[in-house]
């Protein structure tokens, strides 16, 4: 446990010292929320206030930006720079390093979620969630599932230079199609068909049901099951494809 806590502390220092990483994974979802909430936050979307609808979507965007994209890019860069290989030669256990990285990622996403909810209340009058426990479980499930998928994705990225391009090509279209910024009900049929297989669609749907309609997480076993299933796929991909050594060595 001492190794794990020490690694979480180190990862936190590295995260906040990297201005680009902190901006694109932590601040950008908050900026999007403030800008888009100012544009159509008072409109009605699917019979709810636009800012409240947008809050749930940006919690979804935040999880893919932080737990999926940010984690995948960081690990690929460290792998290709030889950092992961050198870490394996130290007394630090592999489980402690991976746990520290995941713990730091979960902590950053927790801070981001709290900031979004507080800003929603302060700027747009969005009510605080009634089902806090269910919301925490849903956000935790999403963060773990997308972290697993992010680690699994590293197996498909061959170079540090291409990491941003590959990861962005996956998560940005997914964020738009899944309804992070707009209601997917107005999308063409082929986009809705794609959205129906994306894990982010079900995560955002789960968060909206809890945040906007007062449901408990166990009232939505379908959405929970899909997110968990995608997380399990990510775990299998990570176990089979994660590498400590550079692929371009």
Residues 97-150: tens digit of each pLDDT? 999 999 999 999 999 999 999 999 999 888 888 899 999 999 999 999 999 999
> What's the pLDDT tens digit per position in 157-172?
888 888 888 898 999 9
247 three-state secondary structure: coil
Mean of all residue pLDDT scores within the chain: 89
Average pLDDT over residues 72-77: 92
Mean pLDDT, residues 54-83? 92
| pLDDT value at residue 72 | 92
Per-residue pLDDT tens over the stretch 221-230: 999 999 999 9
State mean pLDDT over 61-74: 93
pTM over 0.85: yes
Question: Long-range contact list for 71-75, CB < 8 A, 24+ apart?
Answer: 71/101, 71/105, 71/147, 71/150, 71/151, 72/150, 72/151, 72/153, 72/154, 72/157, 72/163, 72/167, 73/163, 73/164, 73/167, 74/21, 74/101, 75/101, 75/150, 75/151, 75/154
Residue 234 clears pLDDT 90, i.e. is over it: yes
Between the alpha carbon of residue 169 and those of residues 157, 233, 241, the distances in Å are 12, 19, 20
**Residue 228: closest CA among 150, 171, 149:** 149
What would the DSSP string read from start to end of 38-82? HHHTTSEETTEEHHHHHHHHHHHHHHIIIIIIIHHHHHHHHHHTT
In the predicted structure, residue 38 carries a pLDDT above the cut 90: no
DSSP secondary structure, 89-131, as one string? TSSS-HHHHHHHHHHHHHHHHHHHHHHHHHHHHHHH-PPPPS-
- 50 or 204, higher pLDDT: 204
User: In angstroms, how far is the first alpha carbon of the chain from the final one?
Assistant: 33
Residue 2 has pLDDT above 80, yes or no: no
**Strand pairing partners for 133?**
none
Q: How far is CA 174 from CA 14, 76, 194, 200, in A?
A: 28, 21, 9, 7
Kindly tell me if the per-residue pLDDT of 12 is higher than 80: yes
**pLDDT higher than 60, residue 249:** no
What is the pLDDT at residue 127?
86
The arithmetic mean of pLDDT across residues 16-30, rounded, is 86
* pLDDT confidence tier of residue 248, bands split at 50, 70 and 90: low
Does 91 score more than 90 pLDDT? no
Query: What is the average per-residue pLDDT within 188-193?
Result: 89
């Amino acid at each position: 446990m001492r190794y794990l806590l020490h690694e979480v502390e180190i990862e936190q220092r590295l995260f906040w010292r990297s201005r680009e990483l902190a901006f694109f994974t932590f601040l950008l979802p908050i900026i999007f929320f403030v800008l888009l909430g100012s544009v159509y936050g008072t409109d009605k979307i699917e019979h709810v206030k636009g800012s409240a609808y947008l809050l749930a979507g940006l919690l979804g965007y935040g999880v893919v930006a932080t737990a999926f994209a940010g984690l995948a890019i960081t690990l690929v860069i460290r792998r290709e720079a030889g950092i992961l290989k050198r870490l394996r030669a130290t007394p630090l256990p592999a489980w402690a390093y991976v746990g520290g990285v995941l713990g730091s990622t979960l902590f950053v996403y927790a801070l981001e979620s709290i900031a979004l909810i507080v800003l929603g209340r302060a700027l747009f009058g969005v009510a605080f969630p009634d089902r806090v426990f269910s919301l925490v479980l849903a956000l935790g499930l999403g963060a773990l599932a997308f972290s697993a998928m992010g680690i699994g994705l590293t197996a498909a990225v061959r170079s540090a230079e291409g990491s941003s391009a590959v990861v962005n090509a996956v998560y940005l279209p997914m964020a738009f199609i899944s309804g992070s910024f707009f209601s997917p009900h107005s999308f063409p049929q082929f986009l809705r068909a794609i959205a129906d297989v994306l894990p982010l669609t079900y995560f955002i749907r789960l968060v909206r049901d809890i945040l906007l309609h007062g449901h408990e997480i166990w009232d939505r076993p379908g959405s929970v099951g899909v997110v968990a299933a995608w997380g399990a796929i990510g775990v299998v991909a990570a176990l089979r494809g994660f590498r400590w050594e550079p692929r371009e060595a």
